[in-house]
Protein backbone atom coordinates (compact mmCIF):
# COMPACT_ATOMS: atom_id res chain seq x y z
CA UNK A 1 0.00 0.00 0.00
CA UNK A 2 1.33 3.46 -0.95
CA UNK A 3 2.20 6.01 1.71
CA UNK A 4 -0.20 8.96 1.74
CA UNK A 5 1.09 12.53 1.51
CA UNK A 6 -0.34 15.41 3.50
CA UNK A 7 -0.03 18.77 1.72
CA UNK A 8 0.57 21.85 3.89
CA UNK A 9 0.60 25.44 2.66
CA UNK A 10 2.41 27.27 5.46
CA UNK A 11 4.54 26.74 8.57
CA UNK A 12 1.49 26.99 10.81
CA UNK A 13 -0.24 24.13 9.00
CA UNK A 14 2.90 22.01 9.20
CA UNK A 15 3.17 22.47 12.96
CA UNK A 16 -0.58 21.91 13.40
CA UNK A 17 -0.56 18.53 11.64
CA UNK A 18 2.51 17.48 13.63
CA UNK A 19 1.20 18.72 16.99
CA UNK A 20 -2.13 17.00 16.43
CA UNK A 21 -0.31 13.77 15.48
CA UNK A 22 -1.90 13.58 12.03
CA UNK A 23 1.39 12.74 10.31
CA UNK A 24 1.92 9.25 11.72
CA UNK A 25 2.84 6.94 8.84
CA UNK A 26 2.46 9.71 6.23
CA UNK A 27 4.69 11.91 4.10
CA UNK A 28 4.32 15.69 4.27
CA UNK A 29 4.84 18.07 1.34
CA UNK A 30 5.22 21.81 1.95
CA UNK A 31 4.01 23.98 -0.93
CA UNK A 32 5.93 26.94 0.49
CA UNK A 33 9.66 27.57 0.32
CA UNK A 34 11.62 26.14 3.24
CA UNK A 35 15.17 27.42 3.70
CA UNK A 36 17.83 24.73 4.11
CA UNK A 37 18.53 25.76 7.71
CA UNK A 38 14.84 25.20 8.60
CA UNK A 39 14.57 21.74 7.06
CA UNK A 40 16.46 19.80 9.75
CA UNK A 41 14.26 20.92 12.63
CA UNK A 42 11.11 20.27 10.60
CA UNK A 43 12.33 16.78 9.65
CA UNK A 44 13.16 16.06 13.30
CA UNK A 45 9.67 17.07 14.42
CA UNK A 46 8.07 15.03 11.63
CA UNK A 47 10.04 11.92 12.62
CA UNK A 48 9.33 12.49 16.32
CA UNK A 49 5.60 12.43 15.50
CA UNK A 50 5.91 9.27 13.37
CA UNK A 51 5.95 10.92 9.95
CA UNK A 52 7.86 9.32 7.09
CA UNK A 53 9.31 11.91 4.69
CA UNK A 54 9.32 15.70 4.27
CA UNK A 55 9.42 17.28 0.81
CA UNK A 56 9.19 20.94 -0.17
CA UNK A 57 8.68 23.04 -3.26
CA UNK A 58 12.11 24.12 -4.46
CA UNK A 59 13.51 27.61 -4.83
CA UNK A 60 13.87 26.85 -8.56
CA UNK A 61 10.11 26.20 -8.81
CA UNK A 62 9.28 29.60 -7.35
CA UNK A 63 11.75 31.33 -9.67
CA UNK A 64 10.14 29.65 -12.69
CA UNK A 65 6.75 31.11 -11.77
CA UNK A 66 8.24 34.57 -11.21
CA UNK A 67 8.56 34.67 -7.43
CA UNK A 68 11.99 35.71 -6.17
CA UNK A 69 12.99 34.30 -2.83
pLDDT of residue 60: 67
> What confidence tens digit (pLDDT) does each residue in 7-41 have?
999 999 999 999 999 999 999 999 988 888 999 99
Q: Which residues of 41-68 are buried (b: 16+ CB within 10 A; e: fewer)?
A: ebeebbeebebeebebeeeeeeeeeeee
Predicted TM-score of the model (pTM): 0.83
pLDDT of residue 57: 82
CA–CA distances in Å: residue 52 to residues 49, 56, 60, 64: 9, 14, 24, 28
Q: Please give the residue that has the higher pLDDT: either 68 or 44.
A: 44
pLDDT confidence tier of residue 6, bands split at 50, 70 and 90:
very high
The ranges assigned to domains in the chain are: 5-64
pLDDT of residue 69: 64
Amino acid sequence: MATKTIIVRNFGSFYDVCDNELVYGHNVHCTFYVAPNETKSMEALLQEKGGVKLTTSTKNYFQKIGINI
